[in-house]
């Protein structure tokens, strides 16, 4: 048995879990194994899986990962670098571990951690004529960091979070939630043994509501009350694209980084980063040109 660490840019996939007539991370991994001759090809969602196959989590459409974990009975030759030979650049396997036969990537995870990159630039007063009311670093409501930290402190601990998920049972969780300011972003980190459906994204939406002043801190306490919220007070999920499955911890499992595979991942995601920066520069130039004409 082997377990593999998988990083992926989820923005171009319809989620992790395979599904008919849609491009998914899991479907792409299984197709790669079929190309390697390690499993029989199936038809659509019935595509065969390796013996004892399991995955740590089922991320939603648009959600990315750096430490998704899949485990199955793998041949010795299937190293991370070999795995990558049949994968697109948006998915890279970068580490692996030998695990006991009884290992299960889903059930044996003792802690999962997500990070959400919340765009929340600090408010600032324009200092020159070039810093106008159209300033794109000031779009949206200002987020107060202290209010965010207070909301996360209230959310940390053991709670029934049924008002932050569509799940009907298994909603009690012990949660650790923190945030770190990194430039224009608040990086919200949430850890627990497991997560109900869309919980982290709803938590982020709730925290942003408090941070912008559209909800009072006491609303967090009401949300954590097991009594169902009225429909008009429900908290919907934040957008999926800024969310990343950051880590999955297992007891007594040590992953060895495959240097060649990790270099391949750095190259692939580095190119995606440069492409995004170029696109952002073009968008910024277009915005600036229109602002100049509006303010002439």
- Active-site residue set: 60
Give SS3 for 277.
Answer: helix
Residue 211 tokens, joined: 């941070």
Are the C-beta atoms of residues 80 and 93 closer than 8 Å to each other?
yes
First-to-last CA distance in the chain? Answer: 67
Residue 289 tokens, joined: 């040109």
Question: CA-to-CA distance for 245 and 44, rounded, in angstroms?
Answer: 26
- Could you tell me which residues come within 8 angstroms of residue 167 by beta carbon, excluding any fewer than 6 positions away? 196, 197
User: What residues pair up with 117 in beta bridges, in sequence order?
Assistant: 187
Question: CA-to-CA distance for 234 and 168, rounded, in angstroms?
Answer: 15
Give SS3 for 192.
Answer: strand
Question: CA-to-CA distance for 42 and 33, rounded, in angstroms?
Answer: 12
For β-strands 256-257 and 91-98, DSSP reports them as antiparallel
Residue 262 tokens, joined: 């990790």
φ/ψ region of 44 (left if φ > 0, alpha if ψ in -120 to 50, else beta) reads left
Residue 229 tokens, joined: 């919220």
């Amino acid at each position: 048995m082997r377990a593999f660490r998988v990083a992926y840019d989820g923005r171009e996939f319809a989620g992790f879990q395979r599904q008919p007539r849609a491009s998914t991370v899991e479907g792409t991994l299984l197709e790669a194994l079929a190309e390697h001759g390690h499993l029989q090809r199936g038809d659509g969602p019935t595509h065969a899986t390796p013996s004892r196959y399991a995955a740590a989590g089922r991320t939603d459409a648009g959600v990315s990962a750096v430490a998704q974990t899949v485990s199955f009975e793998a041949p010795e030759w299937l190293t991370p670098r070999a795995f990558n030979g049949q994968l697109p650049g948006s998915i890279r396997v970068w580490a692996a571990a030998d695990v006991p036969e009884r290992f299960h990537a889903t059930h044996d995870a003792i802690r999962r951690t997500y990070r959400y990159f919340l765009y929340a630039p600090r408010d600032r007063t324009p200092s020159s004529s070039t810093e106008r009311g159209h300033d794109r670093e000031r779009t949206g409501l200002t987020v107060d960091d202290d209010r965010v930290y207070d909301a996360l402190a209230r959310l940390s601990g053991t709670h029934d979070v049924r008002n932050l998920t569509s799940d009907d049972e298994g909603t009690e969780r012990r949660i650790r939630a923190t945030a770190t300011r990194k430039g224009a972003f608040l990086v919200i980190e949430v850890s627990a043994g497991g997560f109900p459906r869309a919980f982290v994204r709803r938590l982020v939406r709730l925290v942003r509501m408090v941070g912008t002043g559209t909800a009072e801190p006491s609303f967090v306490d009401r949300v954590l009350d097991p009594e169902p919220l009225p429909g008009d007070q429900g908290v919907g999920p934040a957008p999926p694209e800024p969310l990343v499955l950051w880590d999955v911890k297992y007891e007594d499992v040590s992953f060895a980084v495959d240097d060649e595979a990790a270099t391949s991942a750095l190259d692939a995601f580095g190119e995606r980063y440069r492409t995004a920066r170029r696109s952002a520069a073009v968008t910024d130039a277009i915005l600036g040109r229109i602002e100049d004409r509006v303010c002439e």
